[in-house]
Structures are given as structure tokens and as C-alpha cells.
Amino acid sequence: MSSLLLFLIIIPAASTLEFRYHNNREIEQYLLQTNSSNPDISHLYSIGQSVKGQQLWVLALGLSPRSHTVGIPEFKYVGNMHGNEVLGRVLLLQLIDDLLRGYRNNETWALQLLNSTRIHILPTMNPDGFDASDTDCILTTGRYNSNGVDLNRNFPDPFAGLRKKQQLDEEKREAEVRAVIGWLRMETFVLSANLHGGALVASYPYDNSNGGSELMGGASVSPDDDVFVHLAKVYSFNHASMHQGDRCSGRPFLEGITSGYQWYPLIGGMQDYNYVWAQCLELTLEISCCKFPPVKQLPAMWTENRKALLAFIQQVHLGVKGQVFNGSGVPVQNAEVEVKGRRNMCPFRTDKHGEYYRLLLPGNYTFTVRYPGHEDLTETLTIPHGPDQYSAMKYNFRLRQITTMTGHTSVIPTKATLTPTSNQSLNLAGGGATNRPTWSEFGLTLGLVAVLRYQID
């Protein structure tokens, strides 16, 4: 009898998930057992392996957990990017347990979330680092992967790429980073958060700057800054105490949120990569003053974060979603969907389903849709608040094909003929992430605060 089968027999499906630090093997067993017990709403898959060959398991939850459904947004949580920042592992396992229990008990909140959203949960991005970590609240043992690399400094940096274009040797990235980049190509994620420890604050892009017009008042401001501030406040004000400012005897954070760059500049971070190249809005959530909290504090910390974790997922339904159709009524891939006043570094584009998702606060917005061989389409939409209804506003754009002087319509381009306008080429078959982004490393002179904070995020 296989060890997995024996495990499934010994551990009943309704067993209570303990509040403790499960090792990597125990997490794997829990995910396997949970997936086996809930085949209708869960799907377990691996996005790759760590440097030491440990699987990076993701559990997807939803009505169609195995594949994307048009109109259903993709959401993700990532935990334990730094191996010694461990509370995220615990909270994400508890979140899985809570969502499934609520769904099985027909609780309205769980039914609404899982019926409207496909939720992906990666409990540990750095299992090797966890294995090497100790229980110290401050020190860095276990922070890095087994090659001694900080994974949150290893992603291609969009601002470095703007300063000096050179070909990215993606295969030289760390295994865990390559796995996440591949994951972003596989799915069209709309909203995301990665969970860290060592502070109590919700941090949002940008983490870096090119020293250009994005610099305002000490912050590196993105085109979607209003949305990011809203998202950060949703987590902060639904948390038991984050909104009161940093309770960790460090720098105070007004309302418990901060621009990443204003806190300290960071090159090669994951949240900027998600936003710029995968058109996925991501926050970095610092959820505990102590990187490795005592076990006895875990139940209280789950209670402090539970409402915030659920409320943040619900924000995936902000704004507007829909498809772009060509002159023949077929959904088209790689159509540019631009919102006036929001000049994204890489334009938001439709995915392989012809879908677009734009997280926007309620208001009036002017959209311009562009696709080769078709007339540009400009329309103004009035967008309501979607999260309360668990659905963004749905709006499809229908393009008109250009007619030549001879009366013939222009040739509709194939995927191979499309050339994105961004200086980073998009992966047309996936979720909009880059195929071969350009970048180079460049130095930033960090102030004392950056040096002191370097080991936190």
C-alpha cells in the first residue's frame, strides 16, 4: 500500500487543521488529502520545483478548479517567499480549510466567493528556505533559497529594463522565480498578494523607479495608484490592528499602508513584475512583527487576518471585465485595452480567450481598444462598485474591420504577426506575462532606512 493511500485512510476528511508549523511534507500531505476529498471544487497542481527539488504546490478552488472559465477572474495568494517568514504558511492553510468548510456547510460568504472566483493558493514559494530557518523573530536564517538568493530581488525589473535594454537570460533566474514566471504565463491573474513577516503594513507598487515622472512626493506612483491605495486599505482596515499604523516599534505607517518605493527602493521585486508584465495587481502584505511567531499566538493571528484575507479576495471583482470581438464576431487575443489617463508601462491586452479585466474604482472611464486591421474603438463607461455583487461590470467591445479603398477588408492578422508596442514582448498564449522581457541590473544608492529595512520585505 502506498504511503499516500495509507495517509488518506488514517486521516479522515473532516479532521481539524491544527494551529502549528507544518513541515513541507505535512503541507504536501494536507494538500493531497484536501484535493482528494474535494474533487468537485479543488485542483492541486505544481508550478515547478525548488532548487532542492521540492514541489511548489498550488491548490485551486472554485466551481471549475481545473481550468479557466470565461468571466470568472483568477486570484492568487503566495506565502513563504522568504523561508523564515512563516505566518503566511499557516494562514493560507487555514484559509483553505475555512473556505472548504464554509462551502460544504452552505455558508453564503463561501458560496459567493467560490462561485464567482477561481482562487489559487501557494502556501510556500520557498520550501528550501523554510527547512533552513530557525525561530528567531528578527534574524535572516532561512530567508534565502538554497542558493543563497533573495527571491524577492530576483525577478526581472521593469525599471532596470528601461534604463538599459539587454536580453534577459531567463534560464539563469532561480528555480522558484522561473516557476512563478511560468505560472503567470499559464493563468491570467487579475489580483494577488504575497505574504511576508517582520512588519505590519500593506505595501503596493511601485517598489522601484527610473527617476522619471513616476516619482511624486517620495513615492514611485503607478498609473493605478488609486486602485492600489484602495486595495491596501481594504486589507489594512479589515485587519484587527494594521490600520492603526505599524505596531512593531518601527516606522509608523499612516492607516497601515505604504508605497513600496517610499518605504525603501527594491530592485527585482515580485509585485512590480506581476503588475507591469503580467497585468496582475499585487500587494505585499507584511502580517506579523515577528518573522517566526510563537505557536501559541497562531490562533489569534488567524482571527486578526481572516476577515482581511477574505475581503481582499472579493476585490478581484472591482471594475469591468469582458471580451473584445473582431469584425467577424470572434474573440481576439492581444487587443490593447487602454483606459484614458492610465498609461501603463506595458498596455493591458486581451488573453487567449479575448478577455480583459480592469480593476477600477467606481466612476466614468474612457476606454480605447486597438487591434490590427480594425478601427480604434473609443467608448466611455460608467462603472459601479462590483465586489458587493461578487462581479465586476461586464462589457464586451465589438470592433469594426477596416475596409480598403477597393472595398476589400484588410487581412486579419494571425498571432504570429502581432507585435506588442511595449518594449517587453507579451506571451500571447498565456496570461499576458512577458515572453522575453529586457532588463539590466543597476545600482541604487539606498539610504540608511533602506539598509535597516532590507531584511524585512
How many whole angstroms separate alpha carbon 294 and alpha carbon 296? 5
* Distance, C-alpha 24 to centroid of its chain: 22
Residue 221, CA distances (Å) to 167, 325, 455 in order: 27, 33, 23
Residues in the chain with pLDDT values less than 70: 1-15, 161-169, 246, 405-457
In angstroms, rounded to a whole number, what is the distance separating the alpha carbons of residues 167 and 258? 32
HEC string for 408-424 = CECCCCCHHHCCCCCCC
Give the whole-angstrom CA distance, residue 322 versus residue 47.
Answer: 27
Q: What SS3 state is found at 118?
A: strand
Query: Could you tell me the maximum CA-CA distance found in the chain, to the nearest angstrom?
Result: 77
* Sign of the dihedral defined by the CA atoms of residues 387, 334, 181, 256, in that order: negative
Helical residues (DSSP H) of 137-224, grouped into ranges: 158-163, 175-186
Q: What residue has cell string 479557466?
A: 68
Q: What is the DSSP string of 190-214?
A: EEEEEEE-SEEEEEES-S---SSTT
pTM of the model: 0.88
Residue 441 annotated to the active site:
no
- Taking each helix axis from N to C end, the angle separating 24-37 and 87-104, rounded to the nearest 10 degrees, works out to 10
What is the Cα–Cα distance from 191 to 392, expressed in whole angstroms?
13
Residue in 187, 282, 286, 336 annotated catalytic: 286
Q: Are 284 and 206 in contact (CB under 8 A)?
A: no
Look at the block and give the residue holding cell 493571528.
301
CA 96, CA 450: separation in Å to the nearest integer?
35
Kindly provide the b/e burial profile for residues 378-398, where b requires at least 16 CB atoms within 10 angstroms of the residue's own CB: eeebebeebbeeebbbeeebe
* pLDDT of amino acid 162: 53
Dihedral sign from CA coordinates of 413, 418, 421, 427: positive
Neighbours of 412 (CB within 10 A): 16
391-394 contacts: CB < 8 A, separation 24 or more?
Answer: 391/116, 391/317, 392/73, 392/317, 392/318, 392/319, 392/320, 392/321, 392/357, 392/359, 393/319, 393/320, 393/321, 394/71, 394/320, 394/321, 394/322
Q: Contact 41/65 with Cβ under 8 angstroms? A: yes
pLDDT of residue 126: 98
Q: Which of 196, 248, 204 is nearest to 82 (CA)?
A: 196
Cα gap 56→125, rounded to integer Å: 6
Residue 161, pLDDT score = 63
